[in-house]
């Protein structure tokens, strides 16, 4: 009973409103990077930045065992981003390879016409062909942006400084349970691995960032030959409570900090490829559906005449 109580214990509840100002929206520019809040460490708000040319942190990896708050964390990230950045500053491409439950509220439905105005694509089913098609689309977008940037420099920041009137949002690709793209090991798995590696390597200069989330990454067969190639492009690691093996896989061999977390909703944030000396313990904010639904409705009201519903 004591073991069960410890396993089901929750971290102190941190409201989303404590880490993200919900009184004013779309106050940030994505020209030099994007940031989002995830929770607290003591009295300090814990934030993550993607695309900073000085720090060179462009992609993030998230893991957590079943029931440890991974879906909640993804909702916190999405809503923090969308509160800070207007739809013309941020494009979201989101794929869910488990059941689509996390992403379903972002789509327009007969019962709820509002949608997430920042979302361009929502993959609500475990459709691997569709996932590969999205990766191919983003790969083509990298080529388009590279050609566009060439006269002005080698990255999105220089382009936006030189052409301030240009419409050039940051793109964030979020893939939940991404390991399902590689099972079974077939042509789809090979294509997905190759495209993901290319996006992770080349996306930084073009303002394309990736957030991969999974319950397990220790046994992804299709990525084993590319493990260093892909995960070496993910300096930001967020590890919710998990097994020792998954903690090693997410962080680095010997770093079992995620296995030593005691409460659901706690996480290890590591900004240095999982190095043990870079561990930061945080309490993830709670994504209250009523609060977030109200925010999304306000975004939709403000942007419905200038945006289209996402492709689902």
The pLDDT assigned to 10 comes to: 74
Query: What's the CA angle centered on 50, arms 173 and 243, to 5 degrees?
Result: 75
Distance CA 176, CA 93 (A): 11
The pLDDT assigned to 224 comes to: 45
pLDDT (tens place) for every residue of the chain, 312 residues total:
988 877 677 778 999 999 999 999 999 999 999 999 999 999 999 999 999 888 899 999 999 999 999 999 999 999 999 999 999 999 999 999 987 678 889 998 887 789 999 999 999 888 999 999 999 999 999 999 999 999 999 899 999 999 999 999 999 999 999 999 988 889 999 999 999 999 999 999 999 999 999 998 877 744 544 555 688 899 999 999 999 999 999 999 999 999 999 989 999 999 999 999 999 999 999 999 999 999 999 999 999 999 999 999
The pLDDT assigned to 109 comes to: 83
The pLDDT assigned to 221 comes to: 47
Eight-class DSSP state of 167: -
290: Cα separation from own chain's centroid: 22
Q: Residues 117, 89: contact at Cβ < 8 Å?
A: no
pTM (2 d.p.): 0.94
Instruction: Name which of 237, 132, 230, 124 is nearest 181 in CA terms.
Output: 132
Half-sphere exposure of 56 (CA within 13 A, CB side): 6
Q: At what angle do helices 187-206 and 128-149 cross, to 10 degrees?
A: 30
The pLDDT assigned to 195 comes to: 96
Eight-class DSSP state of 106: G
Half-sphere exposure of 196 (CA within 13 A, CB side): 32
What are 268's two structure tokens?
């290890």
Distance CA 252, CA 157 (A): 32
Pairing outcome for strands 119-123 and 90-96: parallel
Taking the alpha carbons at both ends of the chain, their separation in whole angstroms is: 44
The pLDDT assigned to 113 comes to: 86
The pLDDT assigned to 276 comes to: 96
């Amino acid at each position: 009973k004591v073991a069960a109580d410890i396993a089901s214990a929750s971290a102190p509840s941190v409201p989303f409103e404590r880490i993200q100002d919900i009184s004013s929206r779309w106050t940030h520019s994505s020209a030099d990077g994007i940031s989002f809040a995830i929770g607290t460490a003591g009295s300090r708000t814990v934030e993550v930045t993607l695309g900073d040319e000085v720090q060179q942190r462009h992609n993030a990896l998230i893991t957590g065992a079943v029931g440890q708050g991974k879906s909640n964390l993804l909702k916190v990230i999405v809503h923090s981003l969308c509160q800070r950045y207007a739809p013309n500053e941020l494009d979201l491409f989101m794929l869910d390879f488990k059941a689509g439950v996390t992403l379903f509220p972002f789509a327009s439905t007969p019962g709820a016409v509002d949608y997430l105005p920042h979302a361009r694509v929502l993959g609500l089913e475990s459709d691997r062909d569709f996932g590969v098609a999205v990766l191919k689309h983003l790969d083509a977008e990298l080529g388009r942006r590279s050609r566009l940037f060439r006269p002005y420099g080698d990255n999105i920041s220089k382009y936006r400084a030189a052409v301030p009137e240009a419409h050039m949002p940051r793109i964030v690709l979020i893939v939940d349970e991404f390991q399902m793209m590689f099972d079974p090991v077939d042509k789809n798995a090979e294509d997905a691995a190759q495209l993901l590696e290319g996006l992770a390597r080349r996306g930084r200069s073009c303002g394309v960032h990736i957030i991969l989330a999974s319950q397990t990454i220790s046994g992804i067969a299709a990525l084993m030959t590319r493990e260093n190639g892909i995960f070496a492009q993910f300096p930001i690691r967020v590890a919710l409570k998990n097994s020792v093996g998954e903690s090693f896989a997410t962080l680095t061999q010997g770093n079992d900090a995620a296995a030593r977390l005691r409460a659901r909703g706690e996480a290890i944030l590591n900004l240095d490829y999982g190095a043990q000396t870079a561990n930061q313990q945080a309490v993830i904010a709670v994504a209250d559906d009523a609060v977030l639904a109200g925010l999304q409705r306000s975004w939709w009201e403000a942007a419905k005449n200038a945006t289209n519903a996402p492709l689902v």
